[in-house]
Structure 1
Amino acid sequence: MRNVRIIPRLDIKGPNLIKGVHLEGLRVIGDPQEYALKYYEAGADELVYMDVVASLYGRNNLSDIIRRAADRVFIPITVGGGIRSPEDAKHILRSGADKVAINTAAVARPDLISEVAYRFGSQAMVLSIEAKQTTSDRWEVYTDNGRERTGLDVLEWAVRGVALGAGEILLTSVDREGTRKGFDIPLIRQISQAVSVPVIASGGMGSPEDFVLAANEGLADAIAMADVLHYNRMDLMTIRQTALDAGLFVRELVDV
């Protein structure tokens, strides 16, 4: 049985945790360290950090933030944004990340996926895909935090990325991101059924029931969420209990 992971997503701009809608209109939420520790203590299974302006500037500035987090947060950490080479990946992994998520640079040079997977293992190479719907059953890959069209079909790119060595896919619906209108279930299902690696669904969670739908109907292996947690619309305990009540296999927390 699949273990469905609960993953808070922290989008970072400079020193701040931020949140947008459709990856735009970014609002400052607070100190990412404070939120990361809060989510870890509340039972998050993993954390995802995304440097949302890194692609614009060609570098990832999260190493200090990740180093601080890794000292106090003892769950897997994925970091994305501005990673353009195996050396960049090495720097982020040495800072305390367990995995790197790559989007823009992988689209520009797909061999980067293989290079990172070969050097650090497929489990450390997450292909980040930002998807916008174009027809009822087709989505296009976007880069640069949802700003740039690529002309790539999401399904074809996901399959190719896994063939090149990606060990996981972080699939973000730009259309749903920040809207709290629920996940793009057809998108998640299409990718989950086409690849043999875990798929993290991101973008659109508005209720605990959305989590259940993404796992049961979308077949997602993990669910990333931001708005609903950052604004205290719900807590991780409620999400986990709703998942358990629905028969999903999620990690049960044990009081020590």
Structure 2
Amino acid sequence: MFTKRIIPCLDIKNGRTVKGVNFVNLMDAGDPVELAQQYAQKGADELVFLDISATQEARKTTLELVLHVAEQVNIPFTVGGGIGSISDVDSLLKCGADKVSINSSAVKRPELINELSAKFGNQCIVVAIDAKQINGAWKVHLVGGSVPTNIDLFEWAKEAQDRGAGEILFTSMNHDGTKNGFANEALAQLSKDLHIPIIASGGAGTIGHFEEAFTEGKADAALAASVFHYGEIEIKTLKQNLKEKGIAVRL
């Protein structure tokens, strides 16, 4: 049986970890290198590091920071933000990243997924999708959620898989930072439609929300930020609770 993964997310802006609600009102949450080190020690299965302003500012992910984080962790480490080419991915992997996350660049040029998967293998290509439910339909948003599109979440996720994505990281913009639970209906639909792992993101507030993401949402991993950054949920406690509920996790 595959174990379910718990993944802290480090959203980085100007070299600091930040967190907001519904993608706005960002607040400082600490030093990313220190946080990464703590999470690796406290039982996180993986880390995700997203340079959230890289695309908006038309620049590359900060390689030096990636290098510093990679030096401090011994668990898989995914990096995203401003990635648009084979050379970008090559640089990040050489700095210690295990996987890369692409979002806006993949929507703008879907062939990028094919190219990266062919070059590096689909095991290290994560396609992140930020989507918002509008009048009952889930629509993909780009550039840190600031640019709406008419692209359907489920159709795009299926295309990303078919082009070579190894995982889908789905963030519900409606749920992000609200601490009201994950978008479990959408997650369950993605899990039904796809055969690659689905990472749930957006809405974690309680241990019960993680349990629901795995049981109702059928997610393979659950990602969260503020509940971990501010010490509201301890990863070891979370995993022990999940195990008691019969959910396979790595303790």
> TM class, shorter-chain normalised?
over 0.9
Q: Which ranges of structure 2 fall in alignment gaps of 5 or more residues?
A: none
Amino acid of the structure 2 residue aligned with 1:213: E
2:107 aligned partner: 107
Q: For the Cα contact (< 8 Å) 2:61–2:80, is it kept in 1?
A: no
1:235 aligned partner: 234
Q: For the Cα contact (< 8 Å) 2:36–2:72, is it kept in 1?
A: no
Q: For the Cα contact (< 8 Å) 2:9–2:47, is it kept in 1?
A: yes
1:20 aligned partner: 20
Matches within 5 A, 1:47-86: 47-86=47-86
Once residues 245 and 59 of structure 1 are traced to their aligned partners in structure 2, the CA distance between those partners, rounded to angstroms, is: 45
Which is worse superposed, 188-197 or 153-162?
A: 188-197
1:170 aligned partner: 169
Q: Deviations over 1:102-158 (max 9, x none)?
A: 01000000000000100000011110000100233x300001111111210000000
1:143 aligned partner: 142
Shift of 1:58: 2.1
Amino acid of the structure 1 residue aligned with 2:15: P
Amino acid of the structure 1 residue aligned with 2:103: N
1:213 aligned partner: 212
Once residues 59 and 165 of structure 1 are traced to their aligned partners in structure 2, the CA distance between those partners, rounded to angstroms, is: 25
- Determine what percentage of the aligned residue pairs are the same residue: 43
Q: Deviations over 1:32-61 (max 9, x none)?
A: 111111111001000000011011122233
Shift of 1:62: 2.9
User: What TM-score does the superposition give when structure 1 sets the normalisation length?
Assistant: 0.96
Matched residue of 2:55: which SS? Answer: helix
Amino acid of the structure 2 residue aligned with 1:211: F
Matched residue of 1:38: which SS? Answer: helix
Once residues 88 and 11 of structure 1 are traced to their aligned partners in structure 2, the CA distance between those partners, rounded to angstroms, is: 19
Q: Which ranges of structure 1 fall in alignment gaps of 5 or more residues?
A: none
Shift of 1:63: 1.4
Shift of 1:87: 1.0
Matched residue of 2:43: which SS? Answer: coil
Shift of 1:194: 0.6
Once residues 60 and 93 of structure 2 are traced to their aligned partners in structure 1, the CA distance between those partners, rounded to angstroms, is: 12
Which is worse superposed, 64-73 or 208-217?
A: 64-73
1:181 aligned partner: 180
Q: For the Cα contact (< 8 Å) 2:61–2:83, is it kept in 1?
A: no
Matched residue of 1:56: which SS? Answer: coil
Aligned residues: 251
2:221 aligned partner: 222
Once residues 61 and 185 of structure 1 are traced to their aligned partners in structure 2, the CA distance between those partners, rounded to angstroms, is: 31
RMSD: 0.9
Once residues 50 and 59 of structure 2 are traced to their aligned partners in structure 1, the CA distance between those partners, rounded to angstroms, is: 12
Once residues 173 and 90 of structure 2 are traced to their aligned partners in structure 1, the CA distance between those partners, rounded to angstroms, is: 28
Shift of 1:234: 1.4
Q: Deviations over 1:171-217 (max 9, x none)?
A: 10111111101001111111111111000000000001100100011
Once residues 29 and 164 of structure 2 are traced to their aligned partners in structure 1, the CA distance between those partners, rounded to angstroms, is: 35
Q: For the Cα contact (< 8 Å) 1:14–1:61, is it kept in 2?
A: no
Matched residue of 2:126: which SS? Answer: strand
User: What TM-score does the superposition give when structure 2 sets the normalisation length?
Assistant: 0.98
